[in-house]
Amino acid sequence: MKDFTLGLCQFMVTNNKKENLLTALNYIEQAASNGCNIIALPEVFNCPYDNNFFNSFSEEEHNSETLNLLKNAAKDFNVYIIGGSIIEREDNKLYNTSYIFSPEGKLLDKHRKVHLFDIDIPNKITFKESDTLTAGDKLTVIDTPYCKIGIAICYDMRFPEMFKKMALSEAELIIIPAAFNMTTGPAHWNLTLRARALDNQVFVAAISPARDTTASYVAYGHSLVASPWGDIISSLDDKPGLLVCKIDSKLLYNIREQLPLLKHSK
């Protein structure tokens, strides 16, 4: 691992795809101009987080307006882009998928959300992704000149064993496009992200949409970066904003040397 600058783009997602793509591009340009080497977008950043929109907003990988924009932006600004997630359509199935592009505009990999968000908290929040989406079935860890990066999407973070596998696959940063809500967010967002970082001695970066109280699903916001010690080292509130965070490689190495959890894992 070596030092680099990470940019997390938290913005309002509307029901206008072209508007969302223009917003994403503006944030990517702003992050690049602030010296960010790796830039990440929110979960389902081009589409409202609502089963009623997923089919009509879905895109096929080989003919995708969104992926074409991300590919060109990565190349134009010479950055790695973790493309939040979009609704991917393949063989009449829909997936919640994150695409990762290199500074050359090459598609490095993609992560399909493994754990679908099917919950029912009476009188608070009910959502069932499996009504429209299909689950992915693999871990995703990519290699960059800065570090190895694991990718997870939102509800995936609830499953510690997935993060342990990524850490044992030498991930040093795990990036999580995510959209917690106003029930689970205040209760579990900071706690869960700090725990995943602490348990696996990795940096964890989670990127949420900004909060829109008029939406059918209200995102919590509060994008953040947690350190391998379990501290929150940088965060936003619920409003649109760009988080720029310098990642200190020495911090990770020192913590792993002083408290060798990964060496002691069996």
| pLDDT tens for each residue of 182-193 | 999 999 999 999
**Can 88 be counted among the known catalytic residues?**
no
Which residues are CB-contacts of 207 (< 8 A; sequence separation ≥ 6)? 8, 9, 10, 40, 41, 42, 43, 84, 175, 176, 177, 178, 223
27-52 confidence digits (pLDDT tens): 999 999 999 999 999 999 999 999 99
In the residue annotation, 154 being an active-site residue is answered as yes
User: In whole numbers, what is the pLDDT of the chain averaged over residues?
Assistant: 97
Instruction: Kindly name the residue from 36, 154, 172, 245 that is annotated as catalytic.
Output: 154
* Global pTM value: 0.97
Q: Is there a catalytic annotation at residue 148?
A: no
Residue 247 belongs to a domain with what CATH number?
3.60.110.10
Could you list the residue range(s) of the whole structural domain that residue 64 is in? Answer: 4-264
Give pLDDT, residue 266: 65
The catalytic residue among 9, 17, 36, 43 is 43
Q: Please tell me which residue in 113, 147, 148, 172 is annotated as part of the active site.
A: 113
